[in-house]
């Protein structure tokens, strides 16, 4: 059945009105979320400050290196040198027999006091005399600097300085020579001589913990004699605490025990280096 012109016009008019109603709704602007730049100035400033603080805190934690925390006074170490007795067993005819006490300051600085007795009864090969040094006291004072202070270990690698001094007596005995007049061998000796000597030392030391508070260690020493009295019969061969006068190098082998200090308030006494 064919539509009349009036009906066709009515249908097109309805379609046009419907399109006009739908178009305004589709043309509405889409609302987007508010960007950070549209926030009030006070909120922007607060967020920026928080972000900066978080960045600084993160960088500080990343750059901070772990440190070993040591007490002001870590104890006193008592040591004894075994090198001289051991060398005597091998035939050495002189030696220094000593003990020492070291004080642990922040496990970095170690003030040292060394005391001992030195003596000699030395007959050089192929010579006709014996040098005798009576047992005499000597002392050294100084300090060690521990390069292992920050590794959390009780081990010890240090460079130190010493000043030593002694007062001792010596002479030459069993001096043998032939008397041309009597054609006989004569044995003589020189009078006792009193002398004072002092010197400086550079020390390189290594010490390790062997069990709890027990330690053993080694040290090499370079000695520089500052002064020593002489006599009309000659210079002394051996100086207590120094060793043979013509030898600048020395060696010690020590064993020791560290006397620990109890810490009642650990948090107050411990400092970060």
More confident residue, 11 or 184: 184
For residues 255 and 215, the answer to whether their CB atoms sit within 8 Å is: yes
pLDDT for the residue numbered 42 = 54
How confident is the model over 189-206, as a mean pLDDT?
A: 96
- pLDDT at residue 237 is higher than 60: yes
CA dist., res. 133 & res. 242, Å (int): 13
Tens of pLDDT, residue by residue over 104-123, are 999 999 999 999 999 999 99
- Give the list of residues 6+ apart from residue 228 with CB closer than 8 angstroms, or none: 195, 196, 197, 235, 236, 239, 245
| Six-digit token string for 255 | 């064993």
Q: Which residues pair with 260 in a beta bridge?
A: none
For residue 23, count other CB atoms closer than 10 A to its CB.
Answer: 9
Q: 202 burial class (0-12, 13-18, 19+ CB within 10 angstroms)?
A: middle
* Residue 17, phi then psi, degrees to nearest 5: -65, -40
Judged against a pLDDT cut of 60, whether residue 270 lies above it is answered with no
What domains can be seen in the chain, in order of their start residue? 69-261 (2.40.160.20)
The C-alpha R_g of the chain, in whole angstroms, comes to 44
- Taking CA atoms, 203 is separated from 71, 78, 133, 154, in Å, by 25, 18, 25, 19
| Most confident among 25-34, 35-44, 48-57, 208-217 (mean pLDDT) | 208-217
Q: What is the pLDDT of residue 2?
A: 47
Q: Compute the distance between CA of residue 175 and CA of residue 180 in angstroms, rounded to an integer.
A: 16
pLDDT for position 163: 98
* Per-residue CA distances from 251 to 15, 217, 218, 228 (Å): 114, 11, 7, 21
Chain-centre distance for alpha carbon 144: 8
Yes or no: say if 221 and 100 are a contact pair by the CB < 8 Å rule. no
């Amino acid at each position: 059945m064919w539509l009349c012109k009036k009906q066709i016009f009515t249908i097109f008019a309805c379609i046009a009105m419907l399109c006009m109603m739908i178009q305004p709704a589709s043309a509405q602007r889409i609302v987007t979320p508010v960007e950070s730049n549209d926030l009030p100035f006070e909120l922007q400033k607060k967020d920026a400050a928080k972000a900066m603080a978080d960045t600084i805190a993160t960088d500080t934690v990343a750059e901070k290196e772990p440190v070993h925390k040591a007490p002001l006074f870590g104890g006193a170490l008592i040591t004894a040198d075994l090198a001289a007795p051991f060398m005597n067993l091998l035939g050495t005819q002189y030696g220094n027999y000593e003990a020492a006490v070291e004080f642990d300051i922040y496990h970095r600085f170690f003030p040292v006091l060394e005391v001992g007795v030195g003596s000699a009864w030395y007959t050089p090969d192929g010579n006709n005399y014996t040098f005798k040094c009576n047992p005499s006291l000597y002392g050294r004072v100084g300090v060690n600097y521990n390069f292992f202070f920050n590794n959390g270990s009780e081990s010890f690698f240090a460079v130190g300085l010493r000043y030593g001094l002694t007062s001792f007596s010596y002479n030459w005995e069993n001096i043998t020579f032939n008397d041309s007049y009597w054609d006989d061998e004569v044995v003589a000796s020189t009078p006792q001589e009193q002398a004072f000597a002092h010197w400086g030392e550079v020390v390189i030391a290594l010490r390790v913990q062997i069990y709890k508070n027990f330690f053993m260690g080694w040290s090499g020493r370079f000695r520089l004699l500052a002064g020593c009295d002489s006599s009309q019969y000659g210079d002394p061969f051996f100086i207590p605490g120094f060793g043979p006068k013509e030898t600048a190098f020395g060696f010690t082998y020590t064993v020791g025990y560290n006397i620990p200090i109890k810490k009642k308030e650990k948090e107050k006494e411990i400092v970060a280096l």
